[in-house]
Structure 1
Amino acid sequence: MSRRIDVELTSQSDDGTWTWRAAGAKQPKGTLDGALLYSGAAVGDVCRAEADFEIDGIFITAVMPAKGRSGRPDDERIELLGSTTEFQGVTTQLAKKGRSGKKKDGRRRDDGKKNRAKGAGRDRDGKGRKASRDDKPRKPKADAPAKPKPKKLKPGRAHRKALIEDLPEEQRVIAEQVSRGGIAAVRKEIEEQNRRAEEEGTDAVRADALLALAESLVPQIKVAEWRDRADAALKSIADVDVRDLRAVIVAAEDFARDDESRALAEEIRSGLNQRVESDQVKWQDEIREALKEERVVRALRLSSRPPKAGSPLPPDIAESLASQANQALGGDVSQQRIGIVLEAVAFSPIRPYVAIAHIPPDPGKELLEVVTKVSDRIPDIAKQFGIEPIEKGRGKRRPKNQKRADKQEKSAETEPVAPSGESAAEKSVDAATQDLEPATVEETGMSSEPEPVAAVEVNDAGVDAEDDEAMQLHDDESLDEDPSDAETKETE
């Protein structure tokens, strides 16, 4: 019987026959006479065909070109262009299932709330907020850019590489170890080599000769290391951390031994002075801006960390800062707000001129802990809370001569008895040599990195070590805290 199927023309033979297969499939397939095709037929065309399915196979009897879906010529069709705007997808997020509003016994929780007037809560107005907060309109927070953190000093290795390359071949490995980790790195490498030699059954390395060579290379490597740090500091003197610059200048007293190094240190010192003067002006402007926005906590914390150590606050800033601090501690303020302001006042140079007007009738535990922590810095305010100021004693350091004498006495007690053939003079020389070696290391304080110079508080020479540690709590990120945020947290 005859059926209509869609076929695809796959190839053309020289004898005029074509091969075909079902469109989109491998089977069925067969051949057809080229005379049945329409004009313009080509390999790959998909067309309609009348086929007779018989026992001997499938025979194509007629072929017609495929027509469009609409059955109309292309020139009679209408093209739908659609919208030119880009489609934006919509995303949804299901909220977490809340409380059902029913108790275990089946009653609803809001049975008694329907008849209650809206906002008729205790100590609240019709808007559902405390009346005391409505008296203080919220100020819009200034969209100030985040203050960039100072860059750390990243020295190169040009001078150290040049020094190592000038050394003999047998000394370069030792110099590399010293430049990386000092004498300790050399000892560790010797122990590792001796351990491998013991496993392999070879001779161990002589440690005394290698350590003596390493100790002789330490001064040269330290000088080269300082030159690398000094070059990096001079190159990035405009944006590197001021503490790193001061550390380079302090180390110059030991490692700047020629005219070129001294000139380099003087250039860094001059650049540091200019940097400090510029930062001092910016620091004062930043405090004035905080006072203008009535951000007293930020202004207090800024005042405790001046770029130029020992510089007093200008009179206009000190007067305005003390006035706003007193206002922040007066009136109807929360205990959390009082604690934040008192902690900031304790480290500010204007703390002698700040007083709290009203003590809360029932101070909370957190507020009392804050006052106790800073009671030695604000003793008058601490006494108003009934807290006796804690006197933080400053530990007295023993003189170096006393330390050396104690070590000599201790070593003399633990020293074994020398043989009878050894003289007393030889014993005293050995004991002195053993005692002087650790003392020399302790006094010189030689390390791979110079220690940074600690910052000094404004116009306050009586700051001890405990206060310096407490100052670290007021980092740069805490300066950006808005005092109004603390009040909002407590209200909520």
Structure 2
Amino acid sequence: MSRRLEIELTSQRADGTWTWRAAGARQPKGDVSGDLVPDTASVGTVLKAEADGGLDGLEIIAVSAPRVRAAPSDRLELIGGGDGPLVTTTLAPKSRRRDRDDRRGRDKDRPRGRDRRDGRDGDGRRDRRRDRRGEQADDDGKARKSRRDGDTRTRSRRDDGGRPRDSGSGSDKDRNEKRSGRRDRRPSDRSSEDGRRSERPPRPRTPGLKAKRVHRQAALAALPDDQQPLAREVLKAGVPGVRKSIERMNAKAAAEKLPQIKSEPILALAEQLAPVLKAAEWHDRADAALAGIAKIDLRDIRSVIAAADRAARTDETRTLAESLRAGLAQRLEVDHRRWLDELAGTIGEGRTIRALRLSSRPPKAGTPLPPDMAERLANLAAADLSPTTNQQRWSTVVDSVSLSPVRTQVIPLGAPEKPSEDLLTTVRRLADRVPQIAALFGIEPPAPSPRGRRPPPPPPAPEVEKATEQPTETPTPDPEATTDTEAADTAEQPTDTEAATDTPE
């Protein structure tokens, strides 16, 4: 069965035959008789051929020249006029914005609203239709002009002479100021007319402690290879985690009827490795805390210092712990001054809730407020607790007052006439912290629950009569079973056996 393919002539032999190969490939290839090849063919010519497959390969039985697509005869040739610009640009001699400004100035004299609707007539209606058609034509012209130039802004900012127009002249300046005012105004800017509140930037988020693993990896590398997997498990979950892993593996082995693991030697080795690994882990955390002592969260720094007593075992780690304590003290001084400045500014702006919540989070725990600042804060909170204040804000202010250091100094100006159930629920919940506020609503604070008082110990059990037989050896009392009272009685009244033992022979 014959097949069609495209062949490429590669060479011509002396006997008139041609060698060929498949167009664009190395295989298949072969010979073709010169009688089948057109006279105009040359080396590299691509022809269409029909070939029969046999044992010796493909045999070309017919060759035809490829079809050449003829050029259409009805096509007109476009002869250009040279290398001139393809787009012709013509600038308008006058800006459209000035016309609109003039038209807007004329519209100011016309009546607006209901008066304008009542006073309109046929001529005014035709004028408005003419104005709308003119504006639409202006917009269409502007769109065509922007497509031609590609830069409408540059063209609109130029005057008749091609010079940039002054942005601070006439109504353009007022319009730019209004536009910038709308752009700068945000919903969060709730500045009042008296200017007490000002926009504040968001508070930066304090970064956490991110420790490296330098000392931890060094401690793991110093261990033998067979102990490193156990050490990693100790670092991950501690000795309790190792114990749970062994229990889980033993449970799985029991289900599969396999021998279980002896936990005693593994737990003993884990307890031996735990102090060294925890010290290396603390060393990494301490290095990171000291490097970021000025910006890391104070809670992370305090946690590192609290663990120094157990983990600081060498002179290097003890010196590092002392450096952390000194850096924390300096950091607290800086943060405390910054906290006082921010609190004073918040009180000056009249932000009651913000000031109360800020006063409840001092950098130095238990540090009292300065007396003048505490008085200002209490007066600010009392001014917000008035009969005319919204009850939802009343509830929020009371909640903030209960956590502030001036909670006992705030005396409200008055309670709402008809307090809502939500407000009463809030006051009942916080009555023990702000009793002077709860008294305005007729709510009594609950009695304080006793704390730190343990129930009295039970009376001692009656002593059992001792046996009459005297033992040959003095019995050793059990310290766990003997109470403090019995031990005291035994010390004051020795038995006969003890007296006999103490008597010299």
C-alpha distance in 2 between matches for 1:150 and 1:255: 26
| 2:87 alignment counterpart | 79
Percent identity (aligned): 40
Instruction: Note the alpha carbon deviations across 1:451-470, whole angstroms, 9 max, x for none.
Output: xxxxxxxxxxxxxxxxxxxx
User: 387-396 vs 374-383, which deviates more?
Assistant: 387-396
Tell me the CA shift for residue 392 of structure 1.
4.2
| 2:313 alignment counterpart | 257
Instruction: Note the alpha carbon deviations across 1:276-331, whole angstroms, 9 max, x for none.
Output: 11111111111111122111111111111110122221233222212222222236
Contact in 1 for aligned 2:385/2:415 (Cα 8 Å)? no
1:243 alignment partner, one of 293, 299, 320: 299
SS across alignment from 2:202: coil
- Letter paired with 2:87: E
Q: Is 1:144–2:154 an aligned residue pair?
A: no
| 2:359 alignment counterpart | 303
User: 361-370 vs 146-155, which deviates more?
Assistant: 146-155
Tell me the CA shift for residue 429 of structure 1.
9.8
| 1:374 alignment counterpart | 430
1:194 alignment partner, one of 233, 250, 259: 250
| 1:119 alignment counterpart | none
C-alpha distance in 2 between matches for 1:293 and 1:84: 52
- Letter paired with 1:344: S
C-alpha distance in 1 between matches for 2:421 and 2:205: 35
2:322 alignment partner, one of 255, 266, 289: 266
Contact in 2 for aligned 1:157/1:228 (Cα 8 Å)? yes
Distance 1:197 1:325, change over 3 A: closer
- Letter paired with 1:378: V
Contact in 1 for aligned 2:346/2:355 (Cα 8 Å)? yes
C-alpha distance in 2 between matches for 1:77 and 1:299: 69
| 1:364 alignment counterpart | 420
Q: Is 1:166–2:222 an aligned residue pair?
A: yes
Unaligned runs of 5+ in 1: 1-12, 20-28, 33-42, 50-63, 89-135, 406-423, 433-492
Contact in 2 for aligned 1:150/1:241 (Cα 8 Å)? yes
Give the TM-score taking structure 2 as reference length: 0.54
Q: Larger C-alpha radius of gyration, 1 or 2?
A: 2
| 2:407 alignment counterpart | 351
| 1:342 alignment counterpart | 398
- Letter paired with 2:212: G
Tell me the CA shift for residue 344 of structure 1.
1.4
2:449 alignment partner, one of 393, 416, 436: 393
Instruction: Note the alpha carbon deviations across 1:106-157, whole angstroms, 9 max, x for none.
Output: xxxxxxxxxxxxxxxxxxxxxxxxxxxxxx8586863322112222222233
Q: Is 1:333–2:389 an aligned residue pair?
A: yes
Q: Is 1:67–2:123 an aligned residue pair?
A: no
Q: Is 1:384–2:440 an aligned residue pair?
A: yes
Contact in 1 for aligned 2:387/2:417 (Cα 8 Å)? no
Contact in 2 for aligned 1:48/1:66 (Cα 8 Å)? no
Distance 1:77 1:397, change over 3 A: same
- Which one has more relative contact order, counting CA pairs under 8 Å at least 6 apart? 1
Tell me the CA shift for residue 240 of structure 1.
1.1
C-alpha distance in 1 between matches for 2:280 and 2:67: 89
Distance 1:398 1:223, change over 3 A: farther
Tell me the CA shift for residue 266 of structure 1.
0.7
Structural mapping, 1:73-472, within 5 Å: 73-75=80-82, 79=87, 82-85=147-150, 142-195=198-251, 197-198=253-254, 202-330=258-386, 332-393=388-449, 395-396=451-452
Contact in 1 for aligned 2:243/2:267 (Cα 8 Å)? yes
Q: CA RMSD for the aligned pairs?
A: 3.8
Instruction: Note the alpha carbon deviations across 1:362-404, whole angstroms, 9 max, x for none.
Output: 11011111111211111111011011112342542769xx9xx
Tell me the CA shift for residue 230 of structure 1.
1.2
C-alpha distance in 1 between matches for 2:345 and 2:204: 18
Distance 1:361 1:196, change over 3 A: closer
| 1:48 alignment counterpart | 72
Unaligned runs of 5+ in 2: 1-37, 47-64, 90-146, 154-191, 459-474, 483-505
SS across alignment from 1:73: coil
C-alpha distance in 2 between matches for 1:284 and 1:166: 50
Distance 1:284 1:156, change over 3 A: same
Tell me the CA shift for residue 425 of structure 1.
8.5
Tell me the CA shift for residue 341 of structure 1.
1.6
SS across alignment from 2:307: helix
C-alpha distance in 2 between matches for 1:244 and 1:283: 19
User: 185-194 vs 219-228, which deviates more?
Assistant: 185-194
